[in-house]
A and B are shown apart, each in its own frame.
Chain A
Amino acid sequence: MSKREKLAEDPQGDALSVQGLHYGFSGEEPLFHDLSFTVKKGEFVSIVATSGMGKTTLFRLLAGLLVPGSGVIAVNGSATAKQNAVGYMPQRDCLMPWRTVQDNAAIGLELQGSSKREARRRVLELLPELGLEGTELKYPHELSGGMRQRVSFLRSLLGGGDLLLLDEPFSALDAMTRTGMQQWLLQVWEKHKKTILFITHDIDEALLLSDRVLVAARRPITELQSVEIELPRPRTYETVLDTRFVALKRALMEQFGRLNHAADAGRESLESIRPASSRSTRVQGGASG
């Protein structure tokens, strides 16, 4: 809890601020229109949306791979389109088959001008805590899906700034591996004090991991509904059995249904859901796990 209190004292600590974002592929209905949202430093925020909403496009915009039609994307308070300000972890692991684990993870450091030796040294230091000890000389095809995702994560961790964009990183993994990876991600996040923006279509996953969930359910996305997840940390897989978890899940799913409905009904019903930051009632959590 202490971390969150500290954040509250520092209102300027926005890791990411998006203002009036507009983007669409030419000849198509825009994906985002006048979209604004912020992510605070050290926050773990999930974006939950149905497929085809442009989640991945949003990430490509945030990572600087696409240029917004209009609007401002500021990372760590700086709106310049400087690259490597964010660590982008794509949905597929995208490991380079010609590089070993250590060289895959070290690519970001290499590109920033570190010597190969120095880059490898830093990777080797981090391998044990990522559960990759002893794999440094292996090639990606020799690893399991979960391990490949860990290498991909380590690459993002070392390659970018303090903001990590994780695009459905666990969607291709089987349920058992996935549970383990979620636990692991929480541990790494708590240790490294990074800011994480996480895309998922799995509400359970979003609730289990996040401080806040942003919900988008209609196209074009003009607003992301923010829901605070005040569940105690550390969270374990037992958390999903907690009554507060279930209540939150129900609330979120209702909101989803309502938003989907609202897509037909019109804008008024959308506006009736106020952003969570201005809410007075929050689901409070005690100790658990």
Chain B
Amino acid sequence: MMTSLKAKVPVLLFILLLAGCWEAATNLFDIPHYIFPKLTAVLESIFDNANVLGKHFVVTLGEALLGLAFSVVCGILSAIWIDSSALARNTIYPLIVASQTIPIIALSPIMVMWFGYDLGSKIAVVILFTFFPIAMNTADGFRSADTEIGDLLRTMGAGKRDLFMKWKIPSALPSFFTGLKMAAAISVGGATLGEWLGGESGLGMFTKRAANMLRGDDVFAGVLLLSFMGIALFAAAQALEKTMLGQRRTMKS
């Protein structure tokens, strides 16, 4: 614990330095608040609007988590399907890969047309963002399972179920967590975009409204909180990975 804290000292100092530069530069060059607000003004805005921001924070976090949960379930199921069926591997998998080239942002308004301006469309946009990294990475994880280990278990009498539980799943876990961490980090972006497209609440809606009113400090307050949310979700996924994979994370053979 001590060593991990010690390792973080440089980055914390660097963040403080950047914050200092921000405050100093905005004061020194007298930059208008709608172009680049002072750091102190942003922090002030966070404290002044703590109640409102807190409510919006919870809304956006809820959208991100719901979308993420759906993507985890569907992503894993798709990956299992792709791994277990040669037909799915030859038909679904290439489509999933190719679909990555579709600009998701362009697709997002369709979600509003389908699911309306309520929670549904926000979750749908989050799913658009997070399904692919989870499904792809998990499928790759299944595929990269060491076939020699599978053969060995077969010689010891392992059935289909044994192979899946004791070989495929443990083999795919590291890749799954890679996907989950990516998805956790971008899920906040998905939720924000969903709110931009139309909505009554959430930090995305808050920043958009503040921008329309040229309130730079409020926009930055929202953005800071959104980044914090993204980092927190990523850290949560990482913590989950650490507890699930434990010691073997350090393994590299």
Q: Is the CB of B149 within 8 A of A96?
A: yes
Q: Mark A86-98, 1 if CB is under 8 A from B, else 0.
A: 1110101010111
A42 within 8 A of partner (CB): no
B6 within 8 A of partner (CB): no
The answer to whether residues A160 and B156 also contact, given A97-B248, A97-B253, A140-B251 and a CB cut-off of 8 A, is yes
Q: Give the Cβ gap from A112 to chain B, nearest Cβ, in Å.
A: 6
A108 within 8 A of partner (CB): yes
A159 within 8 A of partner (CB): yes
Q: Which residues of A contact B (CB under 8 A)?
A: 60, 63-65, 83-84, 86-88, 90, 92, 94, 96-99, 107-108, 110-112, 139-141, 159-160
Q: Give the Cβ gap from B240 to chain A, nearest Cβ, in Å.
A: 16
The answer to whether residues A88 and B155 also contact, given A98-B173, A98-B248, A141-B253 and a CB cut-off of 8 A, is yes
Other-chain residue from B152, B167, B171, B248 in contact with A139 (beta carbon distance below 8 A): B248
The answer to whether residues A83 and B245 also contact, given A94-B149, A96-B170, A141-B251 and a CB cut-off of 8 A, is no
B160 within 8 A of partner (CB): no
Residue among B153, B155, B173, B253 having the largest count of chain A Cβ atoms under 10 Å: B155
Other-chain residue from B153, B162, B166, B248 in contact with A141 (beta carbon distance below 8 A): B248
| A99 contact set on B, CB distance < 8 A | 170
Q: Is the CB of A111 within 8 A of B157?
A: yes
Q: Is the CB of B151 within 8 A of A65?
A: yes
For B247, give the chain A residue with the smallest CB separation: A139
Number of interface residues of B (CB under 8 A): 24
For A92, give the chain B residue with the smallest CB separation: B148
Q: Is the CB of A159 within 8 A of B148?
A: no
Q: Mark B122-159, 1 if CB is under 8 A from A, else 0.
A: 00000000000000000000000010110111111110
Q: Is the CB of A84 within 8 A of B157?
A: yes
| B153 contact set on A, CB distance < 8 A | 107, 111
Q: Give the Cβ gap from B32 to chain A, nearest Cβ, in Å.
A: 56
Q: Is the CB of B162 within 8 A of A111?
A: yes
What are 21 A-to-B residue pairs whose CB atoms are below 8 Å? A65-B154, A83-B154, A84-B156, A88-B155, A90-B151, A92-B148, A94-B148, A96-B149, A97-B251, A97-B253, A107-B156, A107-B166, A108-B156, A111-B158, A111-B162, A112-B157, A139-B248, A140-B253, A141-B248, A159-B155, A160-B155
| B166 contact set on A, CB distance < 8 A | 107, 110-111
The 7 closest A-B pairs by CB, nearest first: A84-B157, A141-B251, A98-B170, A159-B156, A63-B155, A108-B156, A88-B155
| A83 contact set on B, CB distance < 8 A | 154-157
Q: Give the Cβ gap from B102 to chain A, nearest Cβ, in Å.
A: 35
Q: Give the Cβ gap from A110 to chain B, nearest Cβ, in Å.
A: 8
Q: Give the Cβ gap from B81 to chain A, nearest Cβ, in Å.
A: 23
Alpha-carbon distance A141/B153, docked complex (angstroms): 20
* Interchain Cβ contacts within 8 Å, total number: 66
The answer to whether residues A111 and B248 also contact, given A92-B148, A96-B170, A98-B173 and a CB cut-off of 8 A, is no
Alpha-carbon distance A112/B156, docked complex (angstroms): 8
Residue among B152, B167, B171 having the largest count of chain A Cβ atoms under 10 Å: B152
| B170 contact set on A, CB distance < 8 A | 96, 98-99
B51 within 8 A of partner (CB): no
B250 within 8 A of partner (CB): yes
| A63 contact set on B, CB distance < 8 A | 151, 155
Q: Give the Cβ gap from A59 to chain B, nearest Cβ, in Å.
A: 10
Q: Is the CB of B155 within 8 A of A64?
A: yes
B8 within 8 A of partner (CB): no
Q: Give the Cβ gap from B147 to chain A, nearest Cβ, in Å.
A: 10
Alpha-carbon distance A141/B250, docked complex (angstroms): 8
For the complex with contacts A88-B152, A111-B157, A139-B247, 9 further pairs of A-B residues with Cβ separation under 8 Å are: A83-B154, A83-B156, A86-B155, A92-B148, A97-B251, A97-B253, A98-B248, A99-B170, A140-B253
| B148 contact set on A, CB distance < 8 A | 90, 92, 94
Q: Is the CB of A141 within 8 A of B245?
A: no
Alpha-carbon distance A160/B158, docked complex (angstroms): 12
For A110, give the chain B residue with the smallest CB separation: B166
